[in-house]
Amino acid sequence: MRISFLNKIIFSLLCILLILFLVIEESFAVMEFSGGYSYSKQAYGEDKHNTMKSTTYSGGIAVYIWSYTGLELNYSYTTDIISEKDRHYFGGGVYIVSVYNEINTRMYGAGVRQILAPLSSFIVPAISLGYARQIQSGGTTYILEDLYGNQGSLYATRPKDQSDNCYATFALKIRATKYFMLNGSVKTVFRAFRFSEAEDYIKYEAGFSLLF
């Protein structure tokens, strides 16, 4: 099984993070574990019976090898579900009464994090820039109904799509305790070096961080 170039980069960076954390004796070597969650729902159409739902779970690890700069690895899993309940004629006396389109997106990233205040501050702004591998899969379910009201379903698999991307994140961390912080962030993802696409994908998240 061939290992992709990005997987090699992520594996190598993870090894570097662990080695740095174990061998650096200076007090500024801090490791941060983080988790995040995002949910959104939008209704559209004349009767607002069509919906778009998006749920994201994310996690990451960072090692601050200098006072304000660290290396990070991150992962996120997003499920987007579009539900449309418009009635359309399919053919042969059969109608499509609803369509459920599900897209699952996994993203693996590696990058650099720069904080704009000491980690000991009450509020710590942070900027992250890096490279991510995005993998999308999913499918579409069609609910069919005949002239007698009998229903059935038809499922079509979405071809898997993989792409190389850049990401940028701005976060605000608010200290709750010495080792626990609450996070709010905004993240954009765009195809490598196509900066004009940055505004096409913007996601807001809330989460937490643990410092060691």
Residue 44 lies in a domain: yes
Q: What is the DSSP string of 144-166?
A: EEETTS-EEEEEEEEEEEEEEEE
The CATH number given to whatever domain includes residue 24 is 2.40.160.20
User: How is residue 72 written in tokens?
Assistant: 């990070």
**Would the pTM count as exceeding 0.95?**
no
Instruction: Report residue 83: phi and psi, to 5°.
Output: -115, 120
Higher pLDDT, 67 or 186: 186
Q: Pick from 12, 14, 134, 148: which is nearest to 72 by CA? A: 14
The boundaries of the domain holding residue 120 are 5-79+105-137+163-211
Mean pLDDT score, 169-178? 96
In the chain, the number of structural domains is 1
Beta bridge partners of 37: 57, 206
Q: Is 199 a domain residue?
A: yes
Answer whether residue 80 shows pLDDT above 80: yes
Give the mean model confidence (pLDDT) for residues 51-75. 92
CA 44 to CA 146: how far, in whole Å?
Answer: 26
* Range 13-34 average pLDDT: 64
